[in-house]
Amino acid sequence: MSPLDLRSGTLFAEDFQIVRRLGVGDSGAVYVVEHITSGAERALKVVAPHVAPDEAARMAFEREARVGAQIESDHIVLVVGAGLDPKTRMAWVAMELLDGVDLATRVAEGSPMALADVALLFTQLCEALGAAHEVGITHGDVKPTNVFLAKSRSADAAFNVKVLDFGVAKLTVDPESAAAGLRGTPLWMAPEQATTGGAMVPATDVWAIGLLAFWALTGKSYWLAASKPAIDLKSLVGELTSDAKVSASERATELGVVAPLPEGFDAWFARCVERDADGRFANAAQAYAVLATVLGQASKSPETTAVEAPKTALELLVRTQNRPMSDFEWFSATAPRPAFSTASSGPDPLPAVAQPAAGVPAFAAPRPPLETRAKSSGSGWRVVAAMLVLALAAALVVLAWSRRTPPVAQTNAVPTSSAIVAAPTPTPPPAPTVDPQIAVAAASATAAMADSPLVELPGGAFMLGSSNGAAGERPSVPSKVAAFAIEQHEVTVSAYAKCVAAGRCSAAAAGAMCLRESDDNARRPVNCVSFKQAAGYCGWIGRRLPTEAEWELAAGGRMERTYPWPRAVAPTDTDLCWRRCKTSAGPCDVGTFPRARTPEGLDDMAGNVSEWTSSPYCPYDKPDCGAASRVTRGGGWCDDDPNAVRTTTREANDPTEASATLGFRCAADR
């Protein structure tokens, strides 16, 4: 039986009765069904048997189908169930039944949308995609048929956008595209989706957002190959990956579009369709912030946390001279955070933010990660310079206090003459003294903090471990982690040396492949440090080692990726820093391998050095086993087995061990 041939009255998956067919997709069909258990009408998407041919594929399909449940947005279609029909072996997804039309129907060939409707469309579309990107989920198949314009319950909105097929989009690829090695729908996919092994990241969806905006404003596809009676896939891939691109306005004119595009659209569009994903807007929130301006409205600035004005590093150190250095935790928590800027850092002449158009809602971009906010305030040396300025300001305040004229003393006595007699000048209090070495330590700690900025992660529920992994990874158990932040990359030789110079850390062990401080080693991860040394460094800068659960969630995300990168394939020799034992090459500079970067922006969660966590090595079902050993994660530069760099692989290490393959990164509460 074909997914296109389900007749009215047919019982499907033992709980759905077919009412009528709604439409046909790339690899299946969508039906209106009655959910027998609840009596409610639902939309049922049925896909061909090749999508989930066996039990393992069925489990993956069900898991992917529920991806949307992890995204907090009113503009994601609600999935109520997924599975494999035992009779037909066809996979299915049951969703809320929507009343309206998809965007493909709304924008017929040559029939562009009104500007106000385009503004509303992208406000809601980017809110949904932005929420997904914030939790590390990329749609990967954003296209008109996956954007549904449902009837709105509000009189102020013409429609309510619902994004379809989160997760399922990755499993229902057009067969012709799959045969050509493509992962997505050709007219809307980014170049990395046409490349074997290319990673899909939030910027992948930004590419499609740009193309959708052109299409909504013009009623035409940007690609010339789409204007022909039959699309030549080879020509289209050429346009995607190598042919010279013209501006959006030039292409619109070339396609016979009369109405001009909004001012500033060309620059915004060019940024969206940069072939190098790193050159695009990083995510939907950033893309929308500028598009809103182009369309005549302003996006709301993300909420900036109001914090009490911090003391200077000098004042802090006076207070903590006789206390443990962990008092820097106060400094880390109260340091002012710069407001997030969504302005382009590239050369495009993007417009300034305008005021919102009347009656059009503005989308508040999600709060950016700590990494982004740190970058918006300048590089690390600016942070150090700012702290030195604050320290100097404190000294000037002390000097001013010592020279100031005290107020006139107030008494109840009546003066005997009209002459005003000044009260005697009291002796000023002694100025506080500061140990110069402590002041230097403050600047060192600040510089070390800036070396590896924090990336905020939302936390959440996931399955810790792997039911199919090694003995130490089983059994997989439910785990829940509160929101936290973790450093973008492993602590470097340079950063650790600052702690040693400040007298707050002991030197890393000496030995073969132990990295000593030098210009060549500055950006390589510090190794040959024990658990106590790693924890001591993190405490020095007001941070801590991550727990094992935090580390796994950071590496695998709530999608529980097999490897830190989005593609579920084993790494090659050039994907990460590993297989270097034979050459005794040792660790690599941090961040050298962008293909191994997580969607959340974390580097070297696989390879380079194994990383200490704060957790004792215990079975997952016996977390209080009393073990002294500590869990290390992530594999290292010497490993050559793909299993060693999976996100769930764990090892036990004596806390006193300080080997050339061991390093660490710090975390912090959020």
Of 241, 268, 294, the residue that ends a domain is 294
Instruction: Choose between 464 and 394: higher pLDDT.
Output: 464
Is 376 inside a domain boundary? no
- Does the structure show a pLDDT above 80 at 426? no
* Same-domain pairing of 91 and 104: no
Highest-confidence range of 182-191, 558-567, 607-616, by mean pLDDT?
607-616
Q: Using a pLDDT cut of 90, give the percent of the chain over it.
A: 40
In a domain, 192, yes or no: yes
Residue 309 predicted with pLDDT over 60 = no
> What domain range is 38 assigned to?
11-96
Is the distance from CB of 316 to CB of 443 less than 8 angstroms?
A: no
Number of domains in the chain: 3
Q: Which residues contact 200 (CB under 8 A, 6 or more apart)?
A: 138, 140, 183, 190, 192, 193, 566, 567
Residue 370 has a pLDDT of: 35
- The helices-and-strands tally (H runs, E runs) of the chain is 18, 18
Same domain as 608, residue 479: yes
312 lies in some domain = no
Which residues on neighbouring strands pair with residue 18, listed in sequence order? 33
Give the pLDDT confidence score for residue 572 in this predicted structure.
84
CATH code at position 35:
3.30.200.20
Stretch among 97-106, 138-147, 233-242, 610-619 having the lowest mean pLDDT: 233-242
Do 524 and 658 lie in a common domain?
A: yes
248 and 236 in one domain? yes
Q: Are residues 26 and 160 in the same domain?
A: no
Q: Reply yes or no on whether the pLDDT at 419 is more than 70.
A: no
The whole-number pLDDT of residue 66 equals 67
Q: What is the distance between the alpha carbons of residues 148 and 25, in angstroms, rounded to a whole number?
A: 14
322 part of a folded domain: no
92 and 114 together in one domain: no
- b/e per residue 507-527 (b: at least 16 CB within 10 A): ebbeeebbbebeeebebbbbb
- Highest mean pLDDT pick, 52-61, 128-137, 365-374: 128-137
Residue 564 near residue 598, CB atoms below 8 Å: yes
Does 373 fall in a domain? no
Cα gap 220→256, rounded to integer Å: 9
pLDDT at 115: 93
> Per residue, what are the HEC states of 526-586?
CCCCCHHHHHHHHHHCCCECCCHHHHHHHHHCCCCCCCCCCCCCCCCCCCCCCCCCCCCCC
* CATH number assigned to the domain comprising residue 244: 1.10.510.10
65 and 113, same structural domain?
no
Looking at the chain, the whole-number percentage of residues with pLDDT higher than 70 is 70
27 with 151, same domain: the answer is no
Q: Would you state the structure tokens that stand for residue 112, as one six-digit string? A: 């562009």
- Range ranked top by mean pLDDT from 83-87, 229-233, 468-472, 662-666: 662-666
pLDDT digits (tens, 9 = 90+) for 632-662: 999 999 999 999 999 999 999 999 999 999 9
Q: What is the pLDDT at residue 474? A: 84
pLDDT at 113: 93
Residue 303's Cβ-count burial label (10 Å; 0-12, 13-18, 19+) is: exposed
The number of beta carbons lying within 10 Å of the beta carbon of residue 413 is 5
pLDDT digit string, tens, across residues 73-96: 889 888 888 877 878 878 888 888
Query: What is the full DSSP assignment across 426-480?
Result: PPPPPPPP--HHHHHHHHHHHHHHHHS-EEEE--EEEEES-TTS-GGG-S-EEEE
- Predicted pLDDT at 452: 85
pLDDT at 343 > cutoff 50: no
Residue 413 included in any domain: no
In a domain, 344, yes or no: no
Can you give the pLDDT at residue 368?
38
pLDDT digit string, tens, across residues 10-33: 999 889 999 998 877 656 788 999
User: 610 and 646 share a domain?
Assistant: yes
Question: Which whole number is the average pLDDT over 89-117?
Answer: 86
What CATH number does residue 641 fall under?
A: 3.90.1580.10
Instruction: Give the β-pairing of 160-163 and 79-84.
Output: unpaired
Residues 462 and 590 in one domain: yes
Taking the C-alpha atoms of residue 178 and residue 196, their distance in angstroms, rounded to an integer, is 11
Q: Tell me the C-alpha distance between 297 and 124, whole Å.
A: 14
Residue 138's pLDDT band (cuts 50, 70, 90): confident
Amino acid at 578: W
Region 483-512: what's the mean pLDDT? Answer: 93
- Pair 148, 257 in one domain: yes
Most confident region among 106-110, 185-189, 229-233 by mean pLDDT: 185-189
Q: Domain end: 60, 79, 96, which one? A: 96
Cα–Cα distance for residue pair 289/354, rounded to 1 Å: 11
In a domain, 307, yes or no: no
pTM of the predicted protein model = 0.47
Comparing 527 with 447, which gets the higher pLDDT?
527
For residue 257, pLDDT beyond 80: yes
pLDDT for 534: 96
pLDDT-derived band at 387 (thresholds 50, 70, 90) equals very low
Under 8 Å CB-to-CB from 519, ≥6 apart: which residues?
A: none
The residue from 294, 317, 352 where one domain ends is: 294
Residue 509 banded pLDDT, cuts 50, 70, 90: very high
**Res 265 pLDDT > 80:** yes
The torsion angles phi and psi of 125, rounded to 5 degrees, stand at: -60, -45
Residue with the bigger pLDDT between 215 and 461: it is: 215
Q: Are residues 106 and 51 in the same domain?
A: no
Instruction: Give DSSP secondary structure letters for 314-352.
Output: HHHHHHHTTS-GGGHHHHHHHS--PPP--S--SS--PPP
Joined tokens for residue 446: 């600040």
Condensed to tens digits (0 to 9), the pLDDT of residues 579-618 reads 999 888 899 999 999 888 998 899 999 999 999 999 999 9
What pLDDT sits at residue 55?
62
**Phi, psi at 190, each rounded to 5°:** -85, 160
